[in-house]
Amino acid sequence: MRDLIVTALFVFGALVALKRPYYGALLWVWIGLMNPHRLGWGFAYDLPFAMASVVIIALGMLFSMRAIRWQTGGPAVVLILMILWMTLTSFTAILPEPSQTKLIDVLKVLGMTLVVGALVASREQIVGLIWVVVGSIAFFGVKGGIFTLTTGGEFRVWGPPSSLVQGNNELALALIISIPLLYFLAKQATLAREFVLVSRIPEKWLTRGLMVSILLCAVAAIGSHSRGALLAIIAMASMMWWRSRSKVAMGFLFLALTPAILMLMPEEWFSRMETIETYEEDLSALGRINAWHMAINIANDRIFGAGFATASPVVFNAYAPNPDWVLVAHSIYFQILGDHGYIGLGLYLLFWILTYRVAGRLAAMEGRGARFEWVAMLGNMTKVSLVGFAVGGAFLSLAYWDMPFYLMIILLATERYVKEVLVKAPEDVVPSAEVGNGETPSHQRASSVVSG
């Protein structure tokens, strides 16, 4: 039955996408993040849905050339530079063949991210992309949260099968990134209903459903037994409280929910969390530190890094303090450093700094008029998600995972939308009473904020 449902949804979406390639982009995001076909055990399990999505998008773009509008912001430019640098480092790698094989997979993810960005323009399309991105992950958060509550947190929560976030640690980070955007949709329920799949749900029930989903996703993240996720949750919650307008109410909510959730967790969970302070005695942590030292040694010796195939006995024998502990970096930063050297890490950090700045410019639209209220909140909540990724990613090898890159697309598409709105109708960005009191006209002030 699951195979039939997934296949039917895909076929329907594919037919729509031939006329509107935007829906082909949503299909790609849905298949890539959620892997819905791997939730069944029948004929659909091994069907090439991802490849079919690419073909559908290509055909849709061919038939609808006017729908293509490539993103041109700073993060998009740096992303292209990253792709070029990664290609170069793959051909100068210590192990060229496996590195180039991995390069193809990475190019699919990053290249298609740019394609998705070229098909997102209107507010409705931005909202739809947000729904598909967070909904693909929140599905496992809701399911995992219920599982954690019913089992008392005795078992770990796992992510989409055969995906980069299948592991408990990786899923926890994905949920942490999703929670702020779920909160955005809940607080902007009228806007959220612009997405066709939820347009018939009453606003009241949509808000309630999203708030329950947030709680269950938080429970699932805790139930993953991930130590890195615990640190990321603390960072996300602190940032979310700081960016919230209702600091007192949200503070009381966090204080009330934290002990209630922790009381559900078994002794094993607390024992695992305590190893954060005693990492010197944890073989897993020591293995990661060994891999981090190796990444530094590689970058000091090779300007191009080792290439994508860093987690190899050959590379560890040459650069690791302990060559017997062959582990992946378990850190987006050391993963990039070992794979692509200091230049690669510099480009990667610059990409996320520029992305965060775009979110900051959108957040600065707060108070500039009711029509931009959602823009400011999206900027604020995306900043929270980016902080969660920055902290949680320090302990996971998810540098090439596509979900965070979709945040960049959402931000750039929103910034371009705001600029176009200001050009078409610059008036009434802020209450007219503010103009004439020695202040800059509203449309000029808002435009300057967006342009940075």
Pair of tokens at residue 173 = 């980070």
177 and 58 share a domain? no
Statement: residue 65 has pLDDT above 90:
no
Statement: residue 448 has pLDDT above 60:
no
Examine the fold and report which residue of 263, 296, 319 is the final residue of a domain before the chain moves on.
Answer: 263
177 and 248 share a domain? yes
Q: Is 396 exposed, middle or buried (0-12, 13-18, 19+ CB in 10 A)?
A: buried
288 and 409 share a domain? yes
435 in a structural domain: no
Note the pLDDT tens digit of each residue in 172-226: 899 999 999 999 999 999 999 999 889 999 999 999 999 999 989 988 888 777 6
The pLDDT of residue 287 is 81
Structural domain count, the chain: 3
Note the pLDDT tens digit of each residue in 2-20: 788 888 999 999 999 988 9
Spell out the long-range contacts of 115-118 with Cβ–Cβ below 8 A and sequence spacing 24 or more: 115/25, 115/28, 115/57, 115/61, 116/25, 116/28, 116/29, 116/406, 116/409, 117/70, 117/71, 117/76, 117/408, 117/409, 117/412, 117/413, 118/61, 118/68, 118/69, 118/70, 118/71
61 and 76 share a domain? no
Residues 137-144, mean pLDDT to the nearest whole number: 92
417 in a structural domain: yes
What is the band of 437 on the pLDDT scale with cuts at 50, 70, 90? Answer: very low
What is the band of 247 on the pLDDT scale with cuts at 50, 70, 90? Answer: low
Who wins on pLDDT, 255 or 53?
A: 53
What is the band of 262 on the pLDDT scale with cuts at 50, 70, 90? Answer: low
Residues 271-300, mean pLDDT to the nearest whole number: 72
Report the distance separating Cα 71 and Cα 118, nearest Å.
6
Average pLDDT in the chain: 84
Report the distance separating Cα 308 and Cα 102, nearest Å.
6
111 and 137 share a domain? no
64 and 75 share a domain? no
322 in a structural domain: yes
Max avg pLDDT among 192-196, 240-244, 369-373, 424-428: 192-196
312 and 283 share a domain? yes
Statement: residue 283 has pLDDT above 60:
no
Note the pLDDT tens digit of each residue in 315-326: 999 999 998 888
The pLDDT of residue 369 is 76
451 in a structural domain: no
Max avg pLDDT among 98-112, 242-256, 280-294, 429-443: 98-112
143 in a structural domain: yes
Statement: residue 451 has pLDDT above 50:
no
438 in a structural domain: no
Who wins on pLDDT, 258 or 450?
A: 258
Note the pLDDT tens digit of each residue in 76-104: 999 999 999 999 999 999 999 999 999 99
| Stretch among 64-73, 312-321, 356-365 having the lowest mean pLDDT | 64-73
Residues 60-81, mean pLDDT to the nearest whole number: 91
300 and 412 share a domain? yes
Note the pLDDT tens digit of each residue in 215-239: 899 888 887 776 666 677 777 777 7
Max avg pLDDT among 34-43, 88-97, 270-279: 88-97
The pLDDT of residue 273 is 54
Residues 342-365, mean pLDDT to the nearest whole number: 96
Report the distance separating Cα 320 and Cα 398, nearest Å.
21
Note the pLDDT tens digit of each residue in 328-337: 888 999 999 9
152 and 213 share a domain? yes
272 in a structural domain: no
Who wins on pLDDT, 133 or 44?
A: 133
The pLDDT of residue 130 is 97
Statement: residue 267 has pLDDT above 80:
no
What is the band of 375 on the pLDDT scale with cuts at 50, 70, 90? Answer: very high
- For tokens 């997934």, what's the residue? 6
What is the band of 443 on the pLDDT scale with cuts at 50, 70, 90? Answer: very low
Report the distance separating Cα 37 and Cα 161, nearest Å.
9
360 and 405 share a domain? yes
Report the distance separating Cα 30 and Cα 133, nearest Å.
7
Q: Residues 179-203, buried b or exposed e (16+ Cβ, 10 A)?
A: bbbbbbbbbbbebbbbbeebeeeee
Percent of the chain residues topping a pLDDT of 70: 83
Residue span of the structural domain in which 18 resides: 1-68
The pLDDT of residue 279 is 45
Statement: residue 254 has pLDDT above 90:
no
The pLDDT of residue 230 is 67
Examine the fold and report which residue of 230, 263, 296 is the final residue of a domain before the chain moves on.
Answer: 263
437 in a structural domain: no
Percent of the chain residues topping a pLDDT of 90: 54
349 and 397 share a domain? yes
188 and 228 share a domain? yes
Pair of tokens at residue 291 = 């891999």
